[in-house]
Structure 1
């Protein structure tokens, strides 16, 4: 099954040198589950030809806000709506979660409550999933027809499904503790409050459920295949 990865940002250069860009992180997360991948750098205005160019679609995280004025965002939103209409499966993570909600009628804001970083526990369909977060923006208004299936104490709309065609999640299953540690060092200082960075650092050794969520992603992609 061929998954098109829609890159909406790039990892910082120092992180790319060690761990690759965001597409490489997702390829590792989903390795061994029967997928091949093709990357489209939509942040650089490289778009797929049509929803049927791949069997399924995955939208990555980004340093950008869904509400910001960038030339690549309106075409991405149009493509999201086209994929939704086509019925092909799509998964969005962090910025992907947010831009899908915005494209389908929801609202995304820079959350006044601040940041969520590091290992965080989520209630997902009645099960606890621990995943790594790195975000300030949140979906505050859910699109009509979307169902909230995941939340945390900090994020009320942490995971959504849209008619079993789209699955989105706010945290980063593709971020292992090594990536979070790098983000704390390379991107967190002076941006994220020190006490949050210290708390995230203290939780680096705690296990997450990234592999379990990767299984869920794979099942979601494959159920219509």
Structure 2
């Protein structure tokens, strides 16, 4: 099965040498599922010929906001809608979660409650999971047809299921402790309030539910379901 990775952001330069760019991070995250991958750097204006170019699509995270005025946003939304129309499964993470919702008529906003950083606990599809997060934007109003399957007190729509069509999550299940620590130390200061960074730093090492999410993504790509 060929998965097209739609790269919507760039790993900070000081972290990319150790951890790789987002596509490599996701290839590692989904390793062992016998997927083939092809990457399209949509953040640089590189797009596939259409939704039929892959069997499924994965949209990465980004430092950009889904509501920002970038030339690649509208074509990406068109591709999302095209994938739905073509019956191609779509998985979105953080920005990917947001752009899918926005493309289908939902609302994405800079959350007035501030930032979620580091290990966070979510109720996800009837189970408790812990995943690293790094976001201020949120889906505040899901589109018609989306089912909220994950949430916590800070993020009401932390995971959305579009039955048989898409599955998206606000946190970053692909983020390791080392990568999140790197963000806390080098990208967060001056952007994220220091007390939030300190709290996140103190929680680094909390056991994460990464495999559970990798398994869900793989199952969704193959069978259009998460359980």
Check whether TM > 0.5: yes
Distance 1:83 1:138 in 2: 23
Quick one: distance in 2 between partners of 1:159 and 1:72? 24
Which residue matches 1:204? 204
Q: How does 1:135-174 map to 2 (within 5 A)?
A: 135-174=135-174
Q: Which secondary structure state, in structure 1, belongs to the residue aligned with residue 187 of structure 2? A: helix
The CA distance in 2 between the partners of 1:47 and 1:159, in whole Å, is 26
How many residue pairs are counted as aligned between the two chains?
224
Equivalence for 2:38:
38
User: Secondary structure of 2:81's match?
Assistant: helix
Q: What is the CA RMSD across the aligned residues, in angstroms?
A: 0.7
Determine the C-alpha separation between the residues in 2 that align with 1:76 and 1:223.
24
Structure 1: stretches of 5+ with no match in the other structure: none
Give the deviation of 1:125 after TM superposition: 1.2
1:142-201 C-alpha deviation (Å, 9 max, x unpaired): 100111000011000000011221000000011000000000111100111111111111
**CA positional deviation for 1:129:** 0.9
Aligned runs of 1:92-111 on 2, under 5 Å? 92-111=92-111
C-alpha separation between the residues in 1 aligned to 2:46 and 2:32?
Answer: 27
Match of 2:174, SS state, is coil
Distance 2:100 2:39 in 1: 18
TM superposition score normalised by structure 1: 0.98
Pairing 1:81-96 to 2, within 5 Å after superposition: 81-96=81-96
Q: Does 1:133 align with 2:128?
A: no
- 1:21 Cα deviation after fit: 0.5
Structure 1 runs of 4+ aligned residues shifted over 2 Å read none
Corresponding residue number in structure 1 for 2:63: 63
Cα distance in 2, alignment partners of residues 67 and 222 from structure 1? 31
Q: Indicate the residue corresponding to 1:187 in structure 2.
A: 187
Partner Cα distance (2:147, 2:38) in 1 = 29
* Distance of 2:9 and 2:65 partners within structure 1: 11
Q: Give a deviation string over 1:49-81, Cα, whole Å, max 9, x none.
A: 011111100000000000000000000000000
Structure 2 runs not aligned, ≥5 long: none
